[in-house]
A = this chain, B = another copy of it.
Amino acid sequence: MNQTLEQLLNRRSIRNFTGESVKEDDLTLILKAAQQAPTSINGQQISLVVTRDKAKIKKIAEIAGGQPQVATADVFVTVVIDYNRADAAMKHAGQEMVISKSAEGIVVGSVDAGIAVNALQTAAESLGYGTTVIGGIRANPNAMIELLELPENTYPALGSTIGVIDTKIASAVKPRVPIESYAMYEKYDTQKVASGVLQYDTELRSWWDSIGLSDMPSYTAQTAQFYSNIYFPEVAKTLLSQGFKFSDEI
């Protein structure tokens, strides 16, 4: 066991902040740690837009569906899928950039955004700050594109809050589906996944009750609530309008 592992095994989303500032030196280290995370083919198809302006953070909180955890964060970092960088590189090399026109480009850009946000949050947490991943900016991607002045071939994939943890408000490590139904050896096992869901449904219900949040839905109820509709129905059209394409052919 070590400090890093302990942090990862006890990871939780932090939604309550004191309002104190994230130190500038700490923020620089956090951003550098995110940048050192790997990218496919070292394409570096990720950029960050760091929002410290409190009025803009409030605007982002609205865009993300009116989230107080965003409005009260000291810093909001938007993780941008960025093929504008590759485009600039390839113009220099006299070639046409086509990665953004492919399903591969959408998948790998999203994967790299996830890698970057996890490195960023792990760094922030190691310095004692709290974070939550904010996918809600995809509820209205065009508003984010306008706010951050994102050019063609870029896309606001997700964001992260960073703030000083309000320790007066408790946070608990949320349980997960049984590990044997998450990490399967040698091949996927549909039976384990199905039975894991049922076991977890009961466990998550008990966990919410144990922390006094009996109104919160069980796993099956929450999943049904979100995944019976397309809850962010602007993603395809805004990707297309930013110059992306979901295709296997140029």
| Residues of A participating in the B interface, judged by any CB pair closer than 8 Å | 1-5, 7-11, 13, 28-29, 31-38, 40-44, 46-53, 56, 77, 80, 82-86, 88-90, 92-93, 95-99, 101-108, 110-119, 122-123, 126-127, 132-133, 135, 138, 147-151, 154, 157-158, 173-174, 176-177, 179, 181-188, 190, 193-194, 196-198, 201, 219-224, 226-237, 239, 246-250
User: Is A102 touching B40 in the complex (CB atoms < 8 A)?
Assistant: no
User: Is B95 touching A224 in the complex (CB atoms < 8 A)?
Assistant: yes
Give the residues in chain B near A36, CB-CB below 8 Å: 8-11, 173, 176
Give the residues in chain B near A2, CB-CB below 8 Å: 3, 126-127
**CA separation between A198 and B93, bound complex, in Å?**
11
Across the A-B interface, give the 7 residue pairs with the lowest CB-CB distance, nearest first: A114-B114, A110-B110, A103-B236, A4-B126, A118-B118, A8-B33, A246-B246
**CA separation between A154 and B184, bound complex, in Å?**
14
Q: Can you give 20 A-B contacts (C-beta < 8 A)? A: A3-B3, A9-B36, A11-B36, A31-B182, A35-B179, A38-B133, A42-B219, A47-B181, A48-B183, A92-B197, A102-B233, A107-B138, A108-B135, A111-B117, A114-B117, A115-B117, A115-B133, A122-B122, A149-B187, A230-B250
Give the residues in chain B near A133, CB-CB below 8 Å: 38, 40, 115
Give the residues in chain B near A29, CB-CB below 8 Å: 1, 5, 9
State whether A224 and B8 are in contact (beta carbons under 8 Å apart), knowing that A85-B177, A110-B114, A183-B31 are contacts in the complex: no
**CA separation between A84 and B184, bound complex, in Å?**
14
A226 vs chain B, min Cβ distance (A): 5
State whether A193 and B88 are in contact (beta carbons under 8 Å apart), knowing that A114-B114, A115-B118, A179-B35 are contacts in the complex: yes
